Amino acid sequence: MAGILKKATFSDLLKRMKVTLKTMFKPTVTVHYPFEKVKPRKRFRGIHALKLNPDGSYRCEACYLCATMCPSNVIDIEMTEGENGEKVLLDFTVDLTRCLFCGLCVEACPRDAIVMTDIYEFSKYSIDKLILHKDDLMEIGKYYQKWERENKE
């Protein structure tokens, strides 16, 4: 009996129209992406960067820990021996076409040299631009260190 009454009076329909009317005058929740951007969280894993010491020298010691940890062989390091027998970093390559963005390299690094930034827009017109070399990574590193100072906990 109650079911028939419900059917006849369209109470369900009225209930639904109430929701529609309510949402109609609320501000929209969608973000107009290329013009507005949502800021990623602090833990977000974007593209890689290499940090520099305060005096401008490389933090990376070419210990190959990140390269061995990487599940998909993204990182490639070239190094030679310096004058006093220490390791000198020649080139540090990150192949973004293969990267999973799992963050294992960051955890493996004993000297906090390789980090992940909050950059998520890195599409390029050609593939070879997606392979980042040492200088590119340093540039991003400068951006990251600025970001890090601003977002200190």
Partner 1 sequence: MGNRITIPFGSQHVALPEPIRFVFQTENEKIVDVEVDVGYVHRGIEKACMTKFKYTQVGYVVARVCGLCAISHTLGYVTAVERLMNIEVPKKALYLRLLASELDRVHSHLLAMGHLAEVAGYENLFMHTFRDRELVMELQELVTGNRIQFDYVTVGGVNRDLTPEVEKELREKLKILQEKCLWLKDVFENDYTIKLRWKGVGVITPEMAIELNVVGPPARASELATDVRNEFNYLPFKEVGYKLITMKGGDIYARNMVRVEETLNSLDMLFNILDGMPEGDIKVPVKGLPEGEAFVRIEAPRGELFYYVKGSKKMVLDRLRIRVPTFANVPVMKELFIGMDYADVPATVISFDPCLSCTAR
- Whether 45 and 116 have beta carbons less than 8 Å apart is answered as yes
Query: Which value, to the nearest 10 degrees, does the dihedral of the CA atoms of residues 139, 141, 142, 147 take?
Result: 130
Smallest distance, partner 1 to C-beta of residue 60, A: 22
Residue 121 Cβ, how far from partner 1 at the closest point, in Å? 15
For position 67 contacting partner 1 by CB under 8 A, the verdict is: no
Q: Which position among 7, 129, 142, 146 is part of the footprint of partner 1 (CB under 8 A)?
A: 7
CA distance 52 to 33: 33
**Binding to partner 1 in span 68-97, by CB under 8 A:** 69, 71
Q: How far is CA 124 from CA 50, 76, 92, 94, 144, in A?
A: 20, 21, 20, 15, 20
Using CB under 8 A, pick the residue from 103, 111, 129, 146 that binds partner 1: 103
Does residue 102 interact with partner 1 by CB under 8 A? yes
How far are the Cα atoms of 30, 32, 52, 116 from residue 150, in angstroms, in the given order? 27, 26, 17, 16
Q: Is 107 in the site for partner 1 (CB under 8 A)?
A: yes
Residues of this chain that interact with partner 1 (CB under 8 A) are 6-7, 12, 16, 19-20, 29, 40-41, 43-45, 69, 71, 100-104, 107, 153
